[in-house]
Amino acid sequence: MGTTLETSAAAGAKKNTNENPLGDKKVTVLFVLGGPGSGKGTQCANIVQHFGFTHLSAGDLLRAEILSGSENGTMIQNMIKEGKIVPSEVTIKLLQIAMAENENDKFLIDGFPRNEENRAAFEKVTNIEPEFVLFFDCSEEEMERRLLNRNQGREDDNIDTIRKRFKVFVESSLPVIEHYESRGKVRKIDAGKPVGEVFESVKGIFSSFPAKNTREDGLS
């Protein structure tokens, strides 16, 4: 089954058709949103270890697409340098393929949807509604401090791009959170606290999901 999906996904991406790479696969999706540097990736890693989700960072998928030499690579790189939002069809196709190629059926989609157009396009193309939306709420002051100390060599972790990313978050991404808030789907977390304390709040929200055996991974 993995091979069939992979082949169909790769072919769909190449032809850029409207084919749905997920086919009949049923998935549980949670969106993980919050400002740049609010700690989404850090907490997703904990959730993966603890609750068995697969983490799909939209930003990581786009960065991998740049490195793959894809025809969209230069466009994506320029958008990221400016903190702008990559066209929905590009990001959605990458997310669909990643979900189709993975055997898991529970996904944390981190950093997407970034604007209302992303959100509406994802729902229309995939017919997937998130179970809920984790919102990591953090002050700009703290996020800026974290990003400037991140040291991962990211081209967008410089003060000019960081300020642009904050503006895009407020103007384009907060309306997505408001959309889901009005539907009772937002689980807001105070992300300004230390990592361990933030994860304690996350665990409370995941209480309805079965925990993996955590004795080996050191998490309790």
Ligand X SMILES: O=c1ccn([C@@H]2O[C@H](COP(=O)(O)O)[C@@H](O)[C@H]2O)c(=O)[nH]1
Query: Residues comprising the binding site for ATP?
Result: 37-42, 150, 193
Q: Which residues contact 114 (CB under 8 A, 6 or more apart)?
A: 58, 85, 168, 172, 173, 176
What letter represents residue 114's amino acid? R
> Quick check: 91 binds ligand X (CB under 6 A)?
yes
Q: Tell me how many helices (H) and strands (E) the chain has.
A: 10, 5
Binding mask 111-130 for ligand X (x = CB under 6 A): xx-x----------------
Minimum separation from the CB atom of position 38 to ligand ATP (A): 4
Q: Which of residues 157-186 bind ligand ATP (CB under 6 A)?
A: none
> Quick check: 194 binds ligand ATP (CB under 6 A)?
yes
- What residue number has its CB nearest to ligand X? 59
Q: Facing residues of 54 across strands?
A: 107
Nearer to ligand X, 64 or 205 (CB): 64
Nearer to ligand ATP, 92 or 189 (CB): 189
Rounded to the nearest angstrom, the gap between the alpha carbon of residue 132 and the centroid of all alpha carbons in its chain is 13
Sheet of strand 106-110, all strands in order from the earlier edge strand to the far edge:
54-57, 106-110, 28-34, 133-137, 186-190
Minimum separation from the CB atom of position 165 to ligand X (A): 5
Nearer to ligand ATP, 119 or 165 (CB): 165
Q: Taking phi first (over 0 means left), then psi (-120 to 50 degrees means alpha), and beta for anything else, what does residue 69 get?
A: left
Q: Single out the residue of 126, 123, 115, 118 nearest to residue 173, CA to CA.
A: 115
Minimum separation from the CB atom of position 138 to ligand ATP (A): 8
Interacting residue ranges for ligand ATP, rule: CB under 6 A: 34, 36-42, 59, 111, 146, 150, 194-195, 198
